[in-house]
């Protein structure tokens, strides 16, 4: 099935079958985890590894959060979460229409939010100008923020795998047409489902084989990440192994990097976002994804509650929470 043939849902129906709104379980852990990763990772994006170690030898999470706003990846997550709260229980077309509205609102927001980077703006341009999401994707397999875009779907539709796959492909098709990129995004959506259901990362690849017909190239990416994570066991510095997986300039590289970190740092939310943010490429996107996944799976108990409260206030979390409550009635 080509992108342009993608149906609005699993049955070609224009009206989605009724789905219960999710309980709010995991919403705070998901969003605050992502925002923490995005905030810390934004300090090191595109620095070389020696420069990261020289300029930021250790991370003071409290100081970083107090002085730095979450980046554009967090704002994108909020836009998608708002659309899920308002339209996620309706048809795919209604959800995508509301999402376009949310992105437009983001673009005219105050200086208190981070606007999309130039590459993302270019990618969204044809869609925002009225093109249908199934027709606006580019054929090049570039762009890593696609990995962030699908994460809320895995949380919201965690009991509905078909919805995760279809909605992930729709959101991805706004900017991408490359089939491997589209499936890599679906896999990250399923990773979020696994995290929400507290499944250990060592089981993810096996479970994926039951959920989706994985492109062999993407399967090799996951297997390489597993081998490297195993080799990294016991190493004080795993930079040389992590760098084999790339710099995060494409969704396929982000997929491998995410899997490596989730396996290597499966025991700790804090250590996983520190490692992701000390990465020498797209550290903000990688740390945002890892923070969201580990927040869902492990929770935020390692983080000072005052930091969590500050981020909740900064992101208007309670207003978002109320959107889910109001529309779930």
Angle at 185 between CA 180 and CA 187, to 5 degrees: 95
Higher-pLDDT residue of 193 and 9 is: 193
Residue 13 is assigned to a structural domain of this protein: no
Judge whether residue 12 has pLDDT over 60: no
Q: What is the pLDDT of residues 165-187, one digit of tens each?
A: 999 999 999 988 889 999 999 99
Higher-pLDDT residue of 56 and 9 is: 56
Residue 169 is assigned to a structural domain of this protein: yes
Q: What is the pLDDT of residues 222-264, one digit of tens each?
A: 999 999 999 998 888 898 898 899 887 889 999 999 999 999 9
Residue 8 is assigned to a structural domain of this protein: no
Sign, CA dihedral 297-78-283-177, equals positive
pLDDT recorded at residue 65: 84
Confidence of residue 4 (pLDDT cuts 50, 70, 90): very low
Residue 6 is assigned to a structural domain of this protein: no
Confidence of residue 1 (pLDDT cuts 50, 70, 90): very low
- pTM equals 0.90
Higher-pLDDT residue of 60 and 241 is: 241
Residue 7 is assigned to a structural domain of this protein: no
Confidence of residue 6 (pLDDT cuts 50, 70, 90): very low
Residue 12 is assigned to a structural domain of this protein: no
Residue 286 is assigned to a structural domain of this protein: yes
Per DSSP, the residues of 230-297 read: HHHTT-S--HHHHGGG--S-BHHHHHHHHHHHHHHTTT-HHHHHHHHHT-SSSHHHHHHHHHHHHHHH
Q: What is the CATH number of the domain that holds 66?
A: 1.10.4080.10
In which domain, by residue range, is 233 found? 24-328
Residue 17 is assigned to a structural domain of this protein: no
| Total domains present in the chain | 1
Given the structure tokens 């740092």, which residue do they identify? 265
pLDDT recorded at residue 154: 95
DSSP structural state of residue 143: B
Q: What gap in Å lies between CA 172 and CA 189, rounded to an integer?
A: 11
Q: What gap in Å lies between CA 233 and CA 287, rounded to an integer?
A: 20
pLDDT recorded at residue 27: 94
């Amino acid at each position: 099935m080509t992108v342009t043939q993608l149906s609005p849902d699993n049955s070609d129906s224009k009206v989605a079958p009724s789905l219960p709104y999710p309980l709010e379980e995991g919403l705070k852990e998901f969003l605050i985890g992502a925002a923490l990763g995005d905030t810390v990772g934004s300090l090191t994006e595109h620095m070389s590894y020696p420069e990261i170690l020289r300029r930021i030898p250790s991370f003071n999470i409290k100081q970083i959060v107090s002085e730095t706003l979450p980046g554009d990846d967090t704002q994108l997550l909020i836009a998608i979460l708002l659309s899920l709260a308002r339209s996620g229980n309706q048809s795919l077309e209604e959800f995508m229409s509301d999402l376009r509205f949310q992105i437009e609102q983001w673009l005219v927001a105050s200086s208190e939010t981070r606007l999309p980077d130039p590459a993302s703006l270019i990618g969204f341009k044809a869609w925002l100008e009225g093109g249908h999401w199934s027709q606006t994707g580019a054929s090049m397999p570039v762009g890593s923020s696609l990995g962030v875009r699908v994460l809320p779907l895995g949380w919201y539709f965690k009991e509905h795998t078909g919805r995760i796959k279809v909605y992930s492909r729709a959101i991805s098709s706004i900017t991408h047409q490359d089939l491997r990129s589209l499936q890599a995004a679906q896999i990250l959506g399923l990773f979020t489902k696994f995290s929400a259901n507290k499944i250990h990362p060592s089981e993810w690849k096996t479970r994926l084989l039951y959920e989706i017909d994985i492109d062999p190239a993407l399967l090799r990416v996951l297997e390489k990440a597993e081998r490297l994570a195993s080799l990294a066991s016991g190493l004080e510095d795993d930079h040389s192994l992590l760098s084999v997986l790339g710099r995060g300039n494409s969704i396929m590289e982000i997929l491998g990097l995410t899997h490596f970190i989730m396996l290597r740092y499966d025991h700790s939310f804090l250590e996983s976002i520190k490692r992701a943010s000390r990465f020498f490429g797209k550290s903000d996107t990688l740390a945002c994804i890892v923070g969201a996944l580990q927040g869902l799976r492990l929770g935020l108990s390692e983080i000072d509650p005052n930091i969590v409260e500050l981020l909740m206030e900064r992101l208007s979390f309670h207003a978002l929470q109320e959107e889910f409550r109001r529309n779930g009635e």
